[in-house]
Each structure stands twice: as structure tokens, then as C-alpha cells.
Amino acid sequence: MDLTKLNVSHNVQVAGVVSFYMSAALVMVFVNKAVLNSSPELPLLFLLNQLVLAVVLLHASALLFPRIEIPRLEFSSAKKMIPVTLVNVMGLVFNILCLRGVEASFFQIARGLVLPLTIVVSSVHTRTIPGARVVLAAGVVACGFILGVAPHTLTTIQWRSAPSGISIIYGVLSSLFIAVHAVLIKVSLPHAHNSTIQLAYWQNLGSAIFLAPFILIQGEYGMLFELMASPDWNGKMFVWGSIITGVFGFLLCVAGLLSIKITSPITHMFSSPVRYWAYGSLKIFSQGAYLGSLR
């Protein structure tokens, strides 16, 4: 009886974490795309704002809730977090560069490689062969992505415009680094005392430190001042978008780490296709409503 209650409680936890992760990720895609459309010159600075805000929110949470513990900044611990942090920031950079250069629907296709790559990386890491059901499920998900870009009518064949080659490469690299990152999380959790909060802190702080010099090299700080002097720049969109995505990015980071902790990298990645399907459904619904209003 106790075992049954424990299993039910665990299943409820998994469902709650995955559902929240999917919802927060949908908000992130919508707002990220809106900000990148208004300020395409500042993708890395936009990402840095999200990372810094996540660190600030973690400190604020620790002040409000004593149970939330910020890790001590020790060099020995930081050294152990370098692999997962580097992979994390590279995945985030390629992810946002891909989203900047393509429509959201093509972004979903590029990120569709996350699941099969996670299966491959996880299998190599654990030296195991994935089961037939896992492979079959991944195949079904891949077919869902293909159907997502199929013509919305059979009478009028209209394919969306193809994205640039470099954007597809960004998407593939993003998928690869995210797959490796999901596996590294399991390895890195013991170094963070098995705490998703502490691991989230190390990742966000480390990623911000690694990212800052590249923003300077890219000249985005200078570009920011130029845009601030321009009356055509929508600065409010950039500021509010950074705040909203920073908050949801913080929640998404914790939820994602918790999802991988209580399930597995592969199980966690199965939520990605579902949220992309939800996003695609919302987009198709809105396009259908718009076309219907024109009739």
C-alpha cells in the first residue's frame, strides 16, 4: 500500500514538473522571438541579461526561503562544473542564434534533432542499446515534426520559405549541445550536493562569465548604445522581454534540471516535441482563424 502511494506521488511529481517545463518553454519561445525580431543585433546581450537575472533571482529566493541554499564559490567546485557549464552556454548561444534566423516553425524542426541525439549520446555514455519502444517513439516524434511543416491544405500547396543554411547548422549544433548537456547534468548533480538549485546557480553564473567577453568581441555593447540613440529602436520591448524571459528562464532552468533528476535525459527530452507540437498547433490555429476572417 505504501509502495503504491509512493509510486503515485512520484508520477504526480513527474507530471507536474514536465507540464510546468512545457508551459514555461512555450512562453520563452514566444517572447524570445518577439525580442529577437525587435533587436536582432543583440542576441548574446539578450541572453546575458537572462542569465544574470536568473542569478539575481536565485539570491533573492535564498533570502526569502532559508531552505534554498546558494553554493559556496570554491575553485575546486567550480572546476568540476566547467564541462556542464561550457556545454550549457554553447547550447544556449546556438539556440538563440537559430531562433533569430528562422521562423518559429522551422526552429522546431531544427530542435527536433534533440531527442534522437539525446538517445545516441545517452546510449554512448551508458554503453547500452536503447529499447525498441524508445526508438519507435523517437521515430513517431520525428514523423510529427515532418507533418508539422506539411501543407495545411491539400488543394493549395504552399510550403514555408526555407531558412538559411547557417541557421539550420545553428539548430543542429544547439540540438547536439543540449543532448550532451542533458547527460552531463546527471554526472554533475553529485558535485552540487545533488541539489538542482545549486547546479542551476553554477550553470547560470558560469555561463554569464563565459559569455560576457564574447559580447565585447562581437561589439554588442557598442551596438546597444547606438540603438539607444536611435528613435526607431523599441527599447521597452528589449527591457521587458529580458525581464520576462529572465524570470521564465530561471523557472525553466530549475524545472528542466529537476525533470532530468527525477526521470532521465531521454524522458525529459520527450517533453520537447510535445511543447513544439503545442506551439505549432497554436500557430496553425491562429493562421486558420486569420484566413477564415478573410473569406
What is the rounded CA–CA span in Å between residue 161 and residue 119? 30
pLDDT at 208: 93
Q: Is 184 helix (H, G, I), strand (E, B) or coil?
A: helix
CB neighbour burial string for 107-130, b if at least 16 within 10 angstroms, e if fewer: bbbbbbbbbbbbbebbeeeeeeeb
Amino acid at 36: L
What is the rounded CA–CA span in Å between residue 259 and residue 205? 21
What is the rounded CA–CA span in Å between residue 16 and residue 9? 11
The domain segmentation of the chain, as residue ranges, is 40-289
Instruction: Decide if 206 contacts 85 (C-beta within 8 A).
Output: yes
How far from 162 is each of 101, 102, 159, 166, 271, CA to CA, in Å?
A: 11, 9, 8, 12, 26
pLDDT at 89: 92
DSSP letter assigned to residue 271 = H
Q: Is 156 helix (H, G, I), strand (E, B) or coil?
A: coil
Instruction: Decide if 53 contacts 247 (C-beta within 8 A).
Output: yes
Angle between helices 43-64 and 2-38 (to 10 degrees): 140
What is the rounded CA–CA span in Å between residue 178 and residue 265? 10
pLDDT at 65: 81
Q: How crowded is residue 166: how many other Cβ atoms within 10 Å of its Cβ?
A: 11
Per-residue pLDDT for the chain (295 aa), expressed as one digit of tens each? 455 655 556 566 666 666 776 677 777 777 888 888 888 889 999 999 999 998 998 888 888 887 778 888 888 888 889 999 999 999 989 988 888 887 766 676 667 677 777 888 888 888 888 888 888 877 777 676 566 545 454 434 444 445 566 777 888 888 889 889 888 887 888 888 888 788 888 988 999 999 999 898 889 989 999 999 888 888 888 999 889 888 887 777 666 666 666 555 555 555 555 544 444 444 433 343 333 433 4
128: region left, alpha or beta (phi > 0 left; psi from -120 to 50 alpha):
beta
Amino acid at 160: R
Instruction: Decide if 135 contacts 109 (C-beta within 8 A).
Output: no
What is the rounded CA–CA span in Å between residue 231 and residue 249? 29
Q: How crowded is residue 106: how many other Cβ atoms within 10 Å of its Cβ?
A: 22
What is the rounded CA–CA span in Å between residue 215 and residue 219? 6
